[in-house]
Amino acid sequence: MKSSYVHKVSALGRTVSATPRALALALALTAGFTAAIAQPSVAVAQQSSNRIGFVSTDRILRDSGPAKSAETRLESEFKRRDQELQNLANNLRSQVQKFEKDAPVLSESDRVKRQRDLADLDADLQRKRRDFQEDYNRRRNEEYSAIFEKADAAIKTIADQQGFDLIIQDAVYVSPRVDITDQVLRALGG
């Protein structure tokens, strides 16, 4: 004989009508769900044993042997052009000062001619600075690419040898116990 008796149950702030059988089923499901939450699953337990490491790319690019060598190569490669740019800037500055000093006594046509010459010198200097910066950035990126290749190889070797499951390079916060940057620097010779 089926019970037609209906219970009024309050759940999550709502009143629900339920038969005794439906109520028992809901309680059983809720109890099973609570037990499943209380006991960690095998997958969660396995995840907690994963090894995670961190490598600071900033420190690799600043402190590693290959980075220091690359910086030395870039400085020697671009030193002459940088000096030329400084000389051009100094020359322009001195010509501007001379023009400002001479401007009150110059004729209108001489003043316009010298202003045009100064503007041409300034435009030439700006173009050469842009070219220099573009060339320098291109060469620096080439050098950094080679450093990253060496660092990636070192990181993979360390990960394989020490059983890391994940190594990240950018993070908001890193605990010192997962930071392996010093090991990578030693592997790179720096």
Same domain, 68 and 111: yes
Same domain, 171 and 80: yes
Same domain, 24 and 90: no
51 vs 189: CA distance, rounded Å = 25
Alpha-carbon separation of residue 15 from 7, 8, 11, 33 (angstroms): 10, 6, 6, 21
Same domain, 24 and 95: no
Q: Measured in whole angstroms, how far is the alpha carbon of residue 15 from the centre of its chain?
A: 53
Closest CA to 91 of 112, 111, 120: 120
User: Does the residue 45 lie in any domain?
Assistant: no
User: Does the residue 20 lie in any domain?
Assistant: yes
pTM over 0.85: no
Classify residue 104 by its DSSP letter.
Answer: G
Q: Is 91 helix (H, G, I), strand (E, B) or coil?
A: helix
Q: Is 10 helix (H, G, I), strand (E, B) or coil?
A: strand
- Angle 83-86-92 from CA coordinates, rounded to 5°: 145
User: Does the residue 46 lie in any domain?
Assistant: no
Same domain, 29 and 116: no
> Residue 19 above 80 pLDDT?
no
Same domain, 34 and 126: no
Q: pLDDT per residue over 26-63, tens digit each?
A: 444 444 444 444 444 444 444 557 899 999 999 999 99
Number of domains in the chain: 2
Classify residue 57 by its DSSP letter.
Answer: H
Domain extent for 118: 53-188
Same domain, 95 and 34: no
CATH code where residue 98 lies? 3.30.910.20
Mean pLDDT over 133-152 rounds to 96
H or E element that contains 54: strand 52-54
Same domain, 92 and 20: no
* Token pair in block for residue 99: 């023009």
Q: pLDDT per residue over 113-140, tens digit each?
A: 999 999 999 999 999 999 999 999 999 9
